[in-house]
């Protein structure tokens, strides 16, 4: 029996870890951020590249979902036109809480180079944004880093409380 003796006082002695509810819930949340596929223009290509095998988003637990009801984060990748604005609002409303929004690329941040009548000058005019990624288009590394910062943000929140309503207005 002696060789099977378990040392309870040391890390890894047993598959038991002591932690708080906050930490375990946030561990679950932050490591399974399912993203809504929201490629609107060229930035969408970089978002797809991040999901493909070279950059491998799956190892962050970020899996792209085609339905807002299964998604935690909306990665707005690309140019938001005024015609499309009402749909992004509707999809955002359909996402279950807690939910986050990453605005990817200059177009989504500020309208970018499309200083025209048909482009929304920044998605934050329509929905609240958690993280802005600069670039035209941002590299997949930027998106990965953004997701890691989002994980950090999630860990900083209390898990028990409902998410504070992030409202534009």
Partner 1 sequence: MRTYTNKKNVQAKPYYTDRFWKAPQVAKYEVESDEVFAADLAAIKAKFPVSDAFIQVEQMTVWINASDIYGVLELMRDELAYTQLSEMSAIDFIEQRDEFEIFYQMLSMTKRKRIRIKYTIKNGQAVDSVEKLFRSADWSEREMFDMFGIEANAHPFMKRILMPYDWQGYPLLKTYPLQGDEFAAWYEVDKIYGKEAREEIGPEIRDTSTIDRYDSERFAKLGHEVPKGTEITGDEPKNEQNYQEEGGVFLIKKFDKDSSKVIDDPQR
The footprint of ligand SF4 (CB under 6 A) covers 41-43, 78-79, 105-107, 112, 136-137
**Pattern 95-114, binding to partner 1, x per CB under 8 A?**
---------------xx---
Residue 148 binds partner 1 (CB under 8 A): yes
Residue 152 binds partner 1 (CB under 8 A): yes
Q: d(Cα 136, Cα 139) in Å, to the nearest integer?
A: 9
Query: Which of 15/162 has CB closer to partner 1?
Result: 15
- Cβ burial of 157 (10 Å; 0-12, 13-18, 19+) is middle
Whole-number Cα distances in Å, 67 to 34, 78, 169:
10, 18, 26
Query: Which positions touch partner 1 (CB under 8 A)?
Result: 17, 19, 23-24, 27, 82-83, 85-86, 89, 110-111, 115-118, 120-122, 125-126, 145, 148-149, 151-152, 155, 168-169
């Amino acid at each position: 029996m002696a060789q099977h003796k378990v040392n309870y006082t040391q890390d890894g002695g047993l598959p038991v870890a002591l932690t708080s509810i906050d930490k375990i819930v946030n561990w679950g949340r932050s490591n399974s951020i399912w993203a809504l596929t929201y490629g609107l223009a060229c930035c969408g290509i970089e978002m797809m590249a991040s999901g493909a095998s070279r950059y491998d988003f799956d190892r962050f637990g970020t899996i792209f979902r085609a339905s807002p009801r299964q998604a935690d984060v909306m990665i707005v990748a690309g140019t938001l036109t005024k015609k499309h604005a009402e749909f992004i609002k509707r999809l955002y409303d359909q996402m279950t809480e807690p939910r986050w929004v990453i605005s990817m690329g200059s177009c989504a941040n500020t309208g970018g180079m499309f200083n025209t009548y048909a482009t929304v000058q920044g998605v934050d005019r329509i929905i609240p944004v958690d993280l802005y990624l600069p670039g035209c288009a941002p590299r997949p590394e930027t998106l990965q880093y953004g997701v890691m910062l989002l994980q950090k943000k999630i860990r900083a929140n209390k898990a028990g409380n409902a998410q504070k309503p992030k409202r534009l207005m």
